[in-house]
Amino acid sequence: MNAPLTLPAPAKLNRMLHIVGRRDDGYHLLQTLFQFIDLCDQLTLTPRSDGEIHLISEVSGVSHDDNLVVRAARLLQTHSGTPLGATLKIEKQLPMGGGLGGGSSNAATALVGLNHLWQLNLPLVELARLGLRLGADVPVFVHGHSAWAEGVGEQLTKVMLDTPWFVVIHPGISVSTPSVFQDPQLTRDSRPITMARALKGGAPEWRNDCEAVVKERYPPIAEAFHWLAQHAPSRLTGTGACLFATFETQQTAQATAQLAEQYWPTWVARGLNTSPLHAALGF
Ligand SMILES: C[C@@](CO)(OP(=O)(O)O)[C@H](O)COP(=O)(O)OP(=O)(O)OC[C@H]1O[C@@H](n2ccc(N)nc2=O)[C@H](O)[C@@H]1O
Ligand SMILES: Nc1ncnc2c1ncn2[C@@H]1O[C@H](COP(=O)(O)OP(=O)(O)O)[C@@H](O)[C@H]1O
């Protein structure tokens, strides 16, 4: 009963992201392709019989009760009525505010992992619905498959994408998602496309509508783009700050990463169609 369970919380990339409108509540309507990469935080979950939720590792700048894993655990407790609690530990590798979805992924791993540990047997679709209350990106991490997403990112269709090697660069600053969405210059009227077109269109259709305002407002990001674009076509993930480029082989990705490392934190990661979280749980 008290055995700890260690599970991965992977990063995601938005291979493309178009903004096609805005809801009455201010949230933006997106069309995006989500893909996981094999770059992960690790969460260790240990069940407790006293019903308490304790996070025993610090995430810098985030208070205990605001941490998305604590919020996810409490939400699942209330929703299910379980008398059980958990001790939670996060080993962070993913940069915060990097557009890699680390916080959302941590929350999803807490929901899926505690559902398993507490033996609640809730279906993924129910966990995804709960997760949406914590962030627009949580559902895709709960479902654990590459996806075409519409709405605010919650209407998901499973897809298979190519799985290249990525060089991911963090330009050393974090970008606040709300500030990008509040920017008056943001492109909000891209013409909606069908999923089939997005998948068939490939690279030419694959742009990120946040890129122009992010480059304009954050010169270090524009600088990193300028550098990476000399090596391979580059794109922003989510609202940034990270950018990525695709490579056919690990060697070519590594060669570029070695050069980039002189200036910025850089990772080489493989694209995945199934989340390592699901692989770890044998889904
Ligand atoms: C746009 C994406 C693409 O993956 O960017 P990243 O955060 O990953 O960079 C995500 O959907 C972000 O999801 P997430 O980071 O969970 O955002 P949330 O916490 O739900 O929203 C933060 C704030 O961003 C704005 N927001 C977010 C999502 C959306 N579709 N429209 C918005 O206008 C809202 O002002 C909201 O209050
Ligand atoms: N466990 C967590 N890990 C990362 N960020 C968290 C966590 N819990 C709450 N947050 C908050 O969520 C914000 C967004 O984090 P993150 O998901 O890493 O960025 P992004 O959505 O840009 O990928 C952070 O700046 C932080 O304030």
115-128 pLDDT per residue, tens: 999 999 999 999 99
Same domain, 190 and 267: yes
ipTM score for this prediction: 0.95
Contact criterion met (CB below 8 Å) for 148 and 199: yes
pLDDT for 6 equals 98
CB atoms within 10 A of CB 157: 11
41 is catalytic: no
Same structural domain, 196 and 115: no
Question: Strand, helix or coil at 258?
Answer: helix
Same domain for 188 and 56? no
198 in any annotated domain: yes
What is the atom index within ligand 2 of the atom nearest the CA of 106?
Answer: 1
Q: 10 with 131, same domain?
A: yes
| Boundary-marking domain end, from 140, 159, 178 | 159
Question: Do 37 and 133 reside in the same domain of the chain?
Answer: yes
What is the domain count for the chain?
2
Q: Does residue 92 sit in the same domain as residue 134? A: yes
73-80 contacts at long range (C-beta below 8 A, 24 or more positions apart): 73/110, 73/114, 75/111, 75/130, 75/133, 75/134, 76/110, 76/111, 76/114, 76/115, 76/118, 76/120, 76/127, 76/130, 77/51, 77/53, 79/130, 80/118, 80/120, 80/122
Q: Is the CB of 71 under 6 A from ligand 1?
A: no
CA 97 to ligand 2 center in whole angstroms = 6
Residues 31 and 141 in one domain: yes
**Are 47 and 150 contained in the same domain?**
yes
State the pLDDT at residue 130. 98
Burial of 200 (0-12, 13-18, 19+ CB in 10 A): exposed
For residue 211, count other CB atoms closer than 10 A to its CB.
Answer: 20
CA of 231 to the centre of ligand 2 (A): 30
| Domain end point (choices 116, 134, 159) | 159
Residue 227, in any domain of the structure: yes
Task: Assign residue 126 the CATH number of its domain.
Answer: 3.30.230.10
97 pocket-lining for ligand 2 (C-beta < 6 Å): yes
Kindly tell me if the per-residue pLDDT of 263 is higher than 90.
Answer: yes
Pocket test for ligand 2, best of 32, 62, 109, 236 (most atoms within 8 A of CB): 62
Q: Note whether 214 and 181 are same-domain residues.
A: yes
In SS3 terms, 68-123 reads as HHHHHHHHHHHHHCCCCEEEEEEECCCCCCCCCCHHHHHHHHHHHHHHHHCCCCCC
Q: Are residues 232 and 139 in the same domain?
A: no
Tell me if the pTM is above 0.90: yes
Same-domain pairing of 149 and 202: no
Domain contains 207: yes
For residue 84, the CA-to-ligand 1 centroid distance in Å is: 31
Note the pLDDT of residue 52. Answer: 98
Distance CA 240, CA 210 (A): 8
Q: Is residue 58 part of a domain?
A: yes
**Cβ proximity of 238 and 214 under 8 Å:** no
The CATH number given to whatever domain includes residue 169 is: 3.30.70.890
Cα 176 from Cα 182, distance rounded (Å): 10
To the query of whether residue 66 is one of the catalytic residues in this protein, the response is no
Query: Same structural domain for residues 131 and 146?
Result: yes
The CB of 152 under 6 Å from ligand 1? The reply is: yes
Instruction: Establish if 138 belongs to a structural domain.
Output: yes
Domain end residue (candidates: 116, 144, 159): 159
275 lines ligand 2 (CB under 6 A): no
279 domain residue, yes or no:
no
Give me the domain span that covers residue 177: 165-272
Question: 40-76 pLDDT, tens per residue?
Answer: 999 999 999 999 999 999 999 999 999 999 999 999 9
* Closest-CA residue to 67 (of 107, 20, 11): 107
Specify the residue for token string 């496309």.
193
Catalytic residue among 12, 41, 209, 215: 12
Say what the alpha-carbon torsion angle 122, 85, 43, 34 is, to the nearest 10 degrees: 30
Q: Check residue 1 and give its pLDDT.
A: 60
Percent over 70 (pLDDT), the chain:
99
Distance in Å, CA 183 to ligand 1 centroid: 13
